[in-house]
């Protein structure tokens, strides 16, 4: 949210250059500039605005976008490298993109399970015992080892401690054209969905387990990826 606020502040300041001369804000700006403790002065000190090259009133759209990207990259890099609280972010947000789990075709439940896994929350809220081995705390790392997730996803242990996040990080940013990639996701995605279903069911041992049965896990995504985009045939 902090980054979003900073970007909106810079856009707002930029828009003031295009106000008519007799607009109230245009008339007030010379007065506001004299008061260093005003909100206007604070606004002018916002990070992205300060990073825009001078003269700011000549800022082109491409310059604004490039400065914004550089600012976001810098913020992401600082957060990933922070000594505290960055482990989950480093595992889940290695790139400056919209996470594909937010827009790729999948059912509501599948998306919810992916997002919960990303956030480090196992569905259910309270600590549950493992339904497979009886261990008292079915936490994320236990789920990975007890449900044999490395082996089922064919990811060696030395590559990553979290094979599901490892694969979610490789989800395509657009519809792939390579048959190798298409086949890879057609094969692996139903397995990922099935594993997340099992974890969901483990977290709700008292509920009707039938609701977790899915005859075609991951079908929305595998159907989407296997059909060429209409633009490819043009």
Q: How far is the CB of 144 from Zn ion (least distance, A)?
A: 10
8 vs 127, beta carbon nearer Zn ion:
127
Task: Say how many C-beta atoms besides its own lie within 10 A of residue 200's C-beta.
Answer: 21
Q: How far is the CB of 131 from Zn ion (least distance, A)?
A: 8
Q: Is 201 in the site for Zn ion (CB under 5 A)?
A: no
51 vs 131, beta carbon nearer Zn ion:
131
* Alpha helix (H) residue ranges in the chain: 2-15, 24-32, 39-44, 47-51, 61-80, 87-92, 108-119, 140-146, 149-152, 163-168, 179-203, 219-226
193 vs 199, beta carbon nearer Zn ion:
199
CB under 8 A, 24+ apart: contacts of 34-37: none
Q: How far is the CB of 133 from Zn ion (least distance, A)?
A: 3
Q: Is 132 in the site for Zn ion (CB under 5 A)?
A: yes
Q: Is 133 in the site for Zn ion (CB under 5 A)?
A: yes
Q: Is 131 in the site for Zn ion (CB under 5 A)?
A: no
22 vs 136, beta carbon nearer Zn ion:
136
Q: Contacting Zn ion (CB under 5 A), which of 12, 135, 157, 213? A: 135
89 vs 133, beta carbon nearer Zn ion:
133
Span from 10-18, 74-82, 124-132, 221-229 in contact with Zn ion (CB under 5 A):
124-132
Q: How far is the CB of 132 from Zn ion (least distance, A)?
A: 4
Cα dihedral 29/33/38/41 (nearest 10)? 100
**Rounded Cα–Cα distance for residues 51 and 46 (Å):** 9
Footprint of Zn ion on 7-66 (CB under 5 A): none
14 vs 146, beta carbon nearer Zn ion:
146
**Rounded Cα–Cα distance for residues 130 and 143 (Å):** 8
Span from 13-21, 72-80, 123-131, 203-211 in contact with Zn ion (CB under 5 A):
123-131
Q: Provide Rg for the chain, Cα atoms.
A: 24
Cα 206 to its chain centre, rounded Å, is 32
| Eight-class DSSP state of 173 | S
**Rounded Cα–Cα distance for residues 58 and 43 (Å):** 19
Q: Is 130 in the site for Zn ion (CB under 5 A)?
A: yes
What residues make contact with Zn ion under the rule CB under 5 A?
A: 130, 132-133, 135, 146
């Amino acid at each position: 949210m902090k980054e979003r606020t900073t970007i909106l502040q810079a856009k707002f300041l930029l828009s003031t250059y295009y106000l008519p001369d007799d607009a109230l804000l245009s008339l007030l700006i010379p007065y506001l500039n004299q008061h260093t403790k005003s909100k206007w002065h604070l606004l002018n000190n916002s990070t992205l605005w300060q990073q825009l090259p001078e003269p700011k009133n000549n800022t082109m759209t491409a310059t604004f976008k490039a400065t914004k990207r550089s600012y976001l990259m810098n913020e992401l890099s600082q957060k990933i490298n922070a000594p505290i609280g960055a482990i989950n972010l480093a595992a889940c947000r290695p790139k400056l993109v919209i996470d594909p789990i937010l827009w790729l075709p999948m059912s509501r439940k599948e998306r919810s399970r992916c997002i919960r896994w990303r956030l480090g929350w196992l569905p259910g809220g309270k600590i549950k015992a493992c339904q497979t081995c009886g261990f008292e705390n079915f936490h994320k790392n236990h789920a990975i080892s007890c449900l044999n997730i490395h082996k089922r996803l064919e990811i060696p242990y030395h590559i990553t401690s979290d094979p599901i996040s490892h694969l979610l990080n490789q989800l395509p940013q657009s519809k792939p054209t390579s048959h190798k990639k298409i086949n890879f996701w057609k094969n692996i995605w139903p397995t990922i969905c099935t594993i997340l279903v099992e974890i969901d069911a483990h977290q709700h041992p008292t509920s009707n387990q039938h609701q977790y049965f899915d005859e075609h896990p991951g079908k929305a995504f595998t159907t989407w990826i296997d059909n060429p985009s209409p633009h490819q045939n043009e």
